Amino acid sequence: MKKKREGKTTSKIFDDHDHGMCFDDAIEQIENYFLKKNLQFTPLRRKVFEILIRDHKPLGAYEILEALGRDGFSSSPPIAYRVLDFLMEHGFVHKIQGLNAFIACSNPNHSHSPAFVICRKCEKVAEVDEKKSGISFASANIENFEVEKTTVEMTGVCTTCSRAATI
């Protein structure tokens, strides 16, 4: 019995989402990055990234594994988790904590503290930057603490879904 995230259709992430780059651009960017950093963009890593960037929505690790299996790759859990960890280290994938799911970065190649907007009805997710979100981390200096990583997720309902509900 599966939980959520199964038959949802995908399109633009929210009406005003800035796709930023298409599939090909994303692949090219990650290729260049790996080349520059002397990292191996192996078939497995490429495939995992392709699966995530394909329709650019959050996928659970086991959904990614299924997709890997369909494409002839091994599909035991560590395969996915290892590659996801690697891609996250280099900023090409983020984890959505509130969904236990992973999503391709909308804005790689510049260091950033991503924030996510998550519709709890259609489960679309948009990655937004500080300015767009209205959240500022700039002054997030807690006394006696060195912040290394921030998790910011805003859950709610997108206009499309709230309109649909009132029809």
Task: Report in angstroms how near the CB of residue 133 gets to Zn ion at its nearest.
Answer: 13
Check residue 10 for interaction with its own copies (CB under 8 A). Answer: no
SS3 92: coil
Query: What phi and psi values does residue 118 have, to the nearest 5 degrees?
Result: -125, 120
- Cα torsion 90, 91, 93, 98: sign: positive
Check residue 152 for interaction with its own copies (CB under 8 A). Answer: yes
Structure tokens at 31: 């290729």
Distance, in Å, from the CA atom of 44 to the CA atom of 50, rounded to the nearest integer, reads: 10
The helix (run of H) or strand (run of E) holding residue 117 is strand 115-119
Nearer to Zn ion, 140 or 164 (CB): 164
Q: How many residues bind its own copies (CB under 8 A)?
A: 40
Nearer to DNA, 27 or 39 (CB): 39
**Interaction mask 49-78, DNA, x per CB under 7 A:** -----------xxx----------xx-xxx
Nearer to Zn ion, 68 or 119 (CB): 119
Task: Report in angstroms how near the CB of residue 6 gets to DNA at its nearest.
Answer: 9
